[in-house]
Amino acid sequence: MILGKNIKKQYGSLEVLKGVDLHIQASEIVSIVGSSGAGKTTLLTILGTLDNVTSGEILFNGVNITSLNEKKLAAFRNQHIGFVFQFHHLLPEFTALENVCIPAFINKKTKKESELKANELLGLLGLKHRANHKPSELSGGEQQRVAVARALINDPKVIFADEPSGNLDSENAQNLHQLFFKLRDELQQTIVVVTHNETLANMADRKLIMKDGLIQ
């Protein structure tokens, strides 16, 4: 599904990724671990098309995304990729339902279609009763689940998650981890997660260990 070949990334003279090769299969959960500065988040942002490679290529279902221009890349990202970050980045003035709908609106879906799908996802994540609440009225765990629903709204091929439970207490972190496996089992969702959480890393179908800009 995703094939990375000799991915290199330099910022000035600093070489962060030094020739990463990887293959992500459909419907699997892959964790990426390693010490700070190993290149985990840089790799995730590049795979998620939020940053460009210095050299190398990334094939996404056969499409070479490293050759797409900015406009095509943005369209590709919104259609095929979902993101979950350590901080939920929900817009405070909008309800949970409205926050979940935003990527669908960007994707030119109708309000009716978007809200139907958003309510379905909030129901799947146990948040239907919180649909009309604003982020400030939700717990940390609920906010992060809304962010997961938002990531799923356009039926992405893959979700990239960067320290998704890093800001949660142990109980909410555990619930979020279980949710990822529910999504894989029920929606055949592919998830790539960067984490320092050993429990989540070891639960994944595969664990990739990064060190000094390379996968070990």
Dist CA 138 CA 26 (whole Å):
32
At 26-77, the pLDDT tens digits run: 999 999 998 888 888 899 989 988 888 999 999 988 888 888 888 888 888 8
Which domains are present in the chain? 2-215 (3.40.50.300)
Of 155, 107, 168, 100, the closest CA to residue 132 belongs to 100
Look at residue 183 in the predicted model and tell me its pLDDT: 85
Dist CA 100 CA 134 (whole Å):
12
Dist CA 161 CA 29 (whole Å):
11
Question: Binning pLDDT at 50, 70 and 90, where does residue 200 land?
Answer: confident
Cα separations (Å) of 186 from 9, 66, 182, 211, 214? 35, 31, 6, 33, 33
Joined together, the tokens standing for residue 179 give 């949710």
Look at residue 94 in the predicted model and tell me its pLDDT: 94
Mean pLDDT throughout 208-215?
90
